[in-house]
Structure 1
Amino acid sequence: MLYKKVGKIKEEISAIGLGCWNFGGQWDTSNDENAVKIVHAAIDNGINLFDVAPVYGFGKAERVLGKALKDGKRSKVLIATKCGLVWNEKHETKNDLSKKNILREIDESLERLQTDYVDIYQLHWPDHNTPIEETVSALEEIKKAGKIRYIGLSNFSQKDVETFMTMIEINAQQALYNMLERNTSSYHNIPLEYKTEDEVLPTVRKYQQAFFPYSPLFQGLLTGKFKPNGNFSEKDIRNENPKLRGELFKKYYEGVVALEKFADKIGKPLNEIALNWLRQKDEVTSIIAGASSVAQLEKNVHSTTWDLSQEELSEIETIIEPYRYM
């Protein structure tokens, strides 16, 4: 495993992290027993960053990760979980970064994760109904209590990031980023308040923050395994992503077909190419890559054993240029 180091975080972090959304039971590939095996295999392969959130499976993903990290494994890893996206009995969600809610959420996450602290506590989405000062007050309180070590912002505008940084140290950022979603304006129909490549990357570079790109394989599209249609069942949460169905999907699929031809030419798997394209960027610290099996995890890890050449990167750039602002 390769590791990266940034100024805002003491530990070296594995270049490939493990995204735990599919542990929540909302994907076709979700399976609790399999998830535990994936976590253990990730640790054995040198992965030390595990990214999760309360809303993934409405608490389930955190519970599964907590179970997998028992018996001495917790001390070997960095847990990055989130707060601020709450749900009701109907599983309808809303953003809430109020002090009262953050104080409640951290204790519930700690219980589900079976730990006394979270390494990186990330605000999942902005909440413009709560003053930033109130949110910062909550973060200061739980950090002073030893419940969190580092603070991250996920899906925030860089203007808001700068505002937070006048009040509290921000150690990490997380944003949507992959070869076909570079400065995209939405995620699952949710408007994004940032352009990753144009705005987030310069900020994390300037302040030596860790940067964790999520959806690096475009929820499976960049694995090269998708067909023109019928890629998952009706129960799979990816149905909520308009980019994976209809006319939008057709446009993105064209890009994947071109990338598959490039992959065949250089004799490398598309998923590894997609991960290396990210990893070889200086601003990218750890890639939040999900895995539905130990074999898939090992393929992700294998991407760290080789590099794309400058000529190959230039050819990729030509292929994906039409998607820079799509």
Structure 2
Amino acid sequence: MLYKNTKRIKEDISVLGIGCWNFGGDWETSDERSADRIIRTAVDLGINLFDVAPVYGWFQAEKILGQTLKDANLRDKVIVASKCGLTWGDDHVTANDLSKENLFKEIDGSLLRLQTDYIDIWQLHWPDHNTPIEETCEALSEIKKSGKIKYIGLSNFAQKDMVKFDQLVGVDVQQSLYNMFERNATSYHNIPLEYKTEQEVLPNVKKYGQAFLPYSPLFQGLLTGRFSKNKNLSKSDIRNENPKLSGDKLEIYLDGYEKLEEFSKEIGHPTNEIVINWLRQIPEVTSIIGGVSSVKQLKKNIDALRWDLNENEIERINEIIEPFRLMP
């Protein structure tokens, strides 16, 4: 396994992390037993970053991660990154709430579900424009002083707001949507994004010495060959809610994937390895947050770290994906 650290986080972070969204049952290929095996195997293979959130599976992903870490006595060997700021009712309709009252409530809830007394990286999941930034920062400062969190992160935030958060409380980590086909995307699952990753986030990550955790690195499976023009997902799969994975938009992305697949055959490495390798060579990328549905898939992703793209290969890839650089 390869590791990185940053000016803000001196601890070694594995360049591959595990995104735990599918552990909560929102994807068709997930169950508690497979999640347990994935977590244990990932740590055995050197992965130490696990990214989760209360909303993943409506608390279930945090519970599963926490239980496995406890049962396997792994808590001190990993970096747990969780999130806060999304609330919901019985109808599972989410709302953004970064109020001081809610953050105090959420930190204790996450600690209980994760069965730990601290969270390494606590990230604000989405912006809340109804709560003053000063109020949110006051809560973050108090929670950090209490020892319940070590590092503060922002996920999906406009960079002008990031600068203000950094001035008030310090931002150690940024997380945003980033993959070969979504480099400066303006939406995610019909949610408008207030940033452009390649144009805005990456320069600031470098400037401020922050860790950067790109999510959806494999475009929810599209960049592994998981999708066809018929898509073939179960009705309960959360990816059905992503408009980019259906209709005319899907066809555009599939055409791009076919070109990458041709290139992968040319150089003799699977497409998923090329995608991970391309992300890994970007200096600002600290750890690639990808979900995996099996130990087999986990090992395939790790295989991407056993070789490097050369300059000519990177140039060829960039030519293939150039049409997607400004895709919304």
Structure 2 length-normalised TM: 0.98
| Paired amino acid for 2:87 | V
**Is 2:231–2:246's contact at 8 Å kept on the other side of the alignment?**
no
| Paired amino acid for 1:59 | F
Residue number in structure 2 paired with 1:94 = 95
Deviates more, 1:155-164 or 1:218-227: 218-227
C-alpha separation in 1, matches of 2:188 and 2:17: 21
Deviation at 1:219, TM superposition (A): 0.1
Partner SS for 2:175: strand
| Paired amino acid for 1:5 | N
- Equivalenced residues, count: 326
Residue number in structure 2 paired with 1:145 = 146
C-alpha separation in 2, matches of 1:234 and 1:224: 19
Partner SS for 1:250: helix
Residue number in structure 2 paired with 1:9 = 9
C-alpha separation in 1, matches of 2:308 and 2:67: 35
Please show how residues 61-140 of structure 1 align to structure 2 within 5 Å. 61-70=61-70, 71-140=72-141
Residues 239-277 of structure 1 deviation map (CA, whole Å, 9 limit, x = unaligned): 000000011111111111111111111111111111111
Deviation at 1:5, TM superposition (A): 1.3
Partner SS for 1:69: helix
Deviation at 1:231, TM superposition (A): 2.9
Cα-Cα RMSD? 0.7
Residue number in structure 2 paired with 1:34 = 34
Residue number in structure 1 paired with 2:53 = 53
Residue number in structure 2 paired with 1:173 = 174
Identical-residue share of aligned pairs (%): 63
Deviation at 1:72, TM superposition (A): 2.0
Deviation at 1:124, TM superposition (A): 0.2
1:22 equivalenced with 2:52 (yes/no): no
Deviation at 1:301, TM superposition (A): 1.0
C-alpha separation in 2, matches of 1:204 and 1:146: 25
Segments of 5+ residues of structure 2 without an aligned counterpart are none
1:231 equivalenced with 2:232 (yes/no): yes
| Paired amino acid for 1:9 | I
Residue number in structure 1 paired with 2:249 = 248
Partner SS for 2:206: helix
Partner SS for 1:296: helix
**Is 2:111–2:117's contact at 8 Å kept on the other side of the alignment?**
yes
Deviates more, 1:65-74 or 1:18-27: 65-74
C-alpha separation in 1, matches of 2:130 and 2:118: 28
C-alpha separation in 2, matches of 1:132 and 1:61: 28
Segments of 5+ residues of structure 1 without an aligned counterpart are none
1:270 equivalenced with 2:268 (yes/no): no
Residue number in structure 2 paired with 1:201 = 202
Residues 130-163 of structure 1 deviation map (CA, whole Å, 9 limit, x = unaligned): 0000000110111111100000000001100001
C-alpha separation in 1, matches of 2:225 and 2:303: 16
Deviation at 1:229, TM superposition (A): 1.3
1:186 equivalenced with 2:176 (yes/no): no
Structure 1 length-normalised TM: 0.99
| Paired amino acid for 2:24 | G
C-alpha separation in 1, matches of 2:109 and 2:152: 18
Partner SS for 2:11: coil
Residue number in structure 1 paired with 2:324 = 323
